[in-house]
Every structure is written in C-alpha cells, then in structure tokens.
Amino acid sequence: MTARGSNLATEIRGGIVTFVTMAYIVVLNPLIVGTAKDINGNLPGGGQDFGVAISLVAAATALIAGLMTIFMGVYGRFPIAIAAGLGLNGFLAFGLAPQMTWPQAFGLVILEGLIILVLVLTGFRQAVFHAVPDSLKYSIGSGIGLFIALIGLVDAGIVRSGVPLIGFGVNGELAGWPIFTFVFGLLLLIVLVALRIRGGILIGLLATTVVAVILESTYSIGAANTDPNAPGLENPTGWGLNVPAIPDQLFGFVNPAPLFSIDLFGAFSAIGVLAAGLAVFSLLLSDFFDTIGTVTGLAAEADLMNSNGDVEHLDAILTVDSIAAIAGGAAGTSSNTAYIESASGIGDGARTGIASVVTGVLFLLAMFIAPLTKIVPYEAAAPALVIVGFLMMTQIRKIDFNDYSVAIPAFLTIILMPFTYSITNGIGAGVVSYVLIKVAERKSKDIPGMMWIIAVAFTLYFAVHPLKELLGV
C-alpha cells in the first residue's frame, strides 16, 4: 500500500467513491435483464411477474458484483470494481433470450467466460487481441454504445414503432408525464455528467425516480396500455413498465436462487451450432476488448504500468474478469466485467485491492435494497442508458475515417448493432467487409489467420438460409 503511495483511509474513501459512482447498475441491470421474456414468454427465474423478476435480478446483480469485486481486490490486487456489463446485458436480453430459454442464454454467457479463462491461462489472449484491428475494436465499443442509447430511447417511449417505421413519441409528439420525466432525467444527467459530478448517474436516477413517484401519486397515471383489443382501456401515455409507487416492503433480503438454472449447451440445439457459436464469439469479443481497454486505461491513470508499458498483475486481473463472466452467467445477471467507473476511486487516490474490497462489501449490503428497485420506472432509468451510450460512443474518435479500408467496416459495425438490434450482426458485418476490402486492395498478407477464420464463419452465418435453399435442406 505504501509502495503505491496510498494509505488505508485513502483506500476506504476510494472504494466508497467507486461504489457511489457505479451503484446505478443494481437498478439498471434488472430493468434490462429482468424485464425481457425468452422464447417461451418467461422472465429470468421462470416466472411471469415483472416485479418478482426485477427483484431477483437486482439481488443477484449486487451479490455477484460484491463477490467478484472482493475477489478482484484480494487476487487481482487492483482498484477495479466488477459488475454486470452494460451492452452485454442488452445483447443477452434483446439478442439471445428471444431465440431461446433464459437458462440456455445464461449457458452461452458461461461458455464465453470459460473460453476467456482458457485464453488467459494459456497465454493465447495476445493472439486474439492482435488479430482484430484497432478500428474494429473501437467500433465494437461505439456500436454497443449506440445500441444502449437506442434501448434507452425505446424504453422511455421517445422512439416507437409505427408509421413511418420509427416514430417520435406518441403520434409524433412528446405526450404524457412519463416522457417528460425522461426528458427531465436526461437534462439533469447531461448537466451532472458535463460538470463531472461524481456519482452523477446515480444521483440523476434517484432524483428522476423521486419525480416519477410524486407525479404518479398526484395524477394516478398508471401503466401504459396500447393494446387495440382492450377498447376503452388504452393508456399510451402511461408508465412503460413499473408504476412508480412506494412498495409495502422497502428493505429486505431477496433470495436470487430461482435464477440459478443453467442449460449449458441447450442453445446449440435451439438456434443451431453456427449461430450459437457466433453468439458466444460476439460476447467474447465485446467482453474481451472492453476489459483490455478498461484495465489499460485505469492502470495508466493509477500509474500502475511496469517499465515495459504492461499492466501490473494483468493475468490475475483478466483471470478474475473471466471468472466474473462465468459467475454472472451462473447467477442469471449477465456477464460481469471491469467497470471504467473505477476511475472515480482511482482519481480519489485508490491504488490497491483494498479499495475493491470496500466497494465489494458495499455491493453485498446493496442486496437488501432489492425490493426498492420495483419503484424505478423505465422513464427514470432510460436517461442513464442514453448517457452511458454516449460515453461508450466516444471511442469513435480513435477511428481513422480518412482511411476507407478501416472506416467502412467500422461504420457498418456501429450502425448495424442498433439498426438490427444485434451485436453479432454488427461485428460480423465489420469483420467480413474488412477482409473483403483488404483482399480488393491486394493486401491479403496483412490479414491475420484468425481473421480469415472469423470472416468465413460470419459469411456462413449470414448465408445460412440461402445455402439451405440452394442445397434443398
């Protein structure tokens, strides 16, 4: 501790600051994962009750974040906190769950974590890291950011399906108190983030929820209902999911055990070997490069790089991160990964794993506020998604748009993620177009062998239906 220029008081304070900065995930993750139905119409945990599913996912989110962050502090010896990854949870909820059961989707997350763990333990991670060009790495993060922002706008009711294909608000207007609750929350977050207020996302989320509760108690707005089969009951300007009312129980322990149901290989029969394999690969790429970028940036800020420019204890850090992905899948919270918000604690002086232990303990205590998450409506959480999407989109500035050979694949990666609601489609389009352009430029020798393999796999993925028709299968 002394060698890194810190002391116990500084580490404790840094751990608390990091927790306050990223505690929003205990509320946000349940509103993404806990509200998505699988192919059978079930929510995580196998039930149909949104309130129950949200509480279960909130408790599991806090539990795994707490345990894995403590593990990072003890084994990784680094001031990094871990929690359910934003972007990864969106892919899980909107890209995978609708095609399979929740246990099967969580099984893919576990497989992704196991593969990363093998890559780390065998030292093969460097080969994977260097095989993918930097432009695609940055575009993956930017595309996920745009995808998250779109999810936030859809959840808030700002963007809706209709005529034209995508509509604005209710019949082209911002109508109803819930939408204006979102607008209030977004404007508040813009100010807090622009002023770099620590814990700004959490402050904005809580303040917007309070406004929502006041509006509901005053005007009895009720839940949204756009069902044409319920004449007289339509309420297109109601709350998107949770009606923000104070529950009977504010605090208490919620046992997340119903989420611990896993079907490790079931997805391969549900959607096919190729599609399931590429889904795992997409999770792996998103998680892997996000972690590498996050850890490298945090280490540079904390001045914890060795003389060769490598991160201290990198293998231990990546080992913990891969185990966190496995644990997140097993507990039904989505893949867990290192959080860039850890920079707030580092900026406050945290330099050792003690700060992570403090953050982890606070996450474990947060399990007891799981019932409170049922108060938060989509409209209060959605501004956080939009702002997090913006923060992830900032990676786009690192892409050289003057070089079309890398700019076009990056562009396709970024736009296809939100426009097709699929991270896999975005990554696939980027990889295939990158290889195609390099071949057209007669620079095939510059393409790593692994990129050829990935490009062929994605080509087969995109062409599977035409091939079936051609072969009469």
pLDDT, tens digit, 9 for 90 and up, residues 317-351: 889 999 999 999 999 999 999 987 887 788 778 88
Q: What is the mean pLDDT of the chain?
A: 86
Residue 49 lies inside a defined structural domain of this protein = yes
Convert the pLDDT of each residue in 179-216 to its tens digit.
999 999 999 999 998 998 877 888 888 899 999 999 99
Residue 2 lies inside a defined structural domain of this protein = no
Strand runs (DSSP E) across 177-331, as ranges? none
Tell me, what amino acid is at 251?
A: F
Indicate the burial class of 445 (C-beta count within 10 angstroms; 0-12, 13-18, 19 or more): exposed
Token readout for 290 is 């996000």
- For residues 381 and 86, the answer to whether their CB atoms sit within 8 Å is no
**Residue 309: pLDDT over 70:** no
Q: How many domains does the chain have?
A: 1
Buried b or exposed e, range 133-159, using 16+ CB within 10 angstroms: bebbbbbbbbbbbbbbbbbbbbbbbbb
Residue 351 lies inside a defined structural domain of this protein = yes
Token readout for 247 is 């529950």
What does the alpha-carbon distance between residue 143 and residue 141 come to, in Å, rounded to a whole number?
Answer: 6
Give the pLDDT confidence score for residue 201 in this predicted structure: 83
Handedness of CA 397, 401, 405, 411 (dihedral sign): positive
Closest CA to 57 of 83, 81, 87, 82: 83
Max avg pLDDT among 102-106, 227-231, 239-243, 424-428: 102-106
Of the CA atoms within 13 Å of residue 214, those in its CB half-sphere come to: 7
Token readout for 194 is 């622009």
Token readout for 50 is 């949104």
Indicate the burial class of 233 (C-beta count within 10 angstroms; 0-12, 13-18, 19 or more): exposed
What does the alpha-carbon distance between residue 293 and residue 444 come to, in Å, rounded to a whole number?
Answer: 27
Convert the pLDDT of each residue in 237-256 to its tens digit.
788 767 888 877 777 788 89
Residue 113 lies inside a defined structural domain of this protein = yes
Residues 6+ apart with CB under 8 A from 129: 288, 289, 292
The whole domain housing 102 covers 8-471
Least confident of 152-166, 379-393, 430-444: 152-166
Residue 3 lies inside a defined structural domain of this protein = no
pTM for the whole structure: 0.78
Residue 281 lies inside a defined structural domain of this protein = yes
H or E stretch at 318: helix 314-331
**Residue 101: pLDDT over 80:** yes
Give the pLDDT confidence score for residue 154 in this predicted structure: 86
Specify the 3-state DSSP secondary structure of 160: strand
Strand runs (DSSP E) across 125-264, as ranges? 159-161, 166-168
Least confident of 22-36, 249-263, 296-310, 362-376: 296-310
Closest CA to 214 of 103, 63, 377, 426: 377
Residue 1 lies inside a defined structural domain of this protein = no
What does the alpha-carbon distance between residue 318 and residue 339 come to, in Å, rounded to a whole number?
Answer: 13
Residue 456 lies inside a defined structural domain of this protein = yes
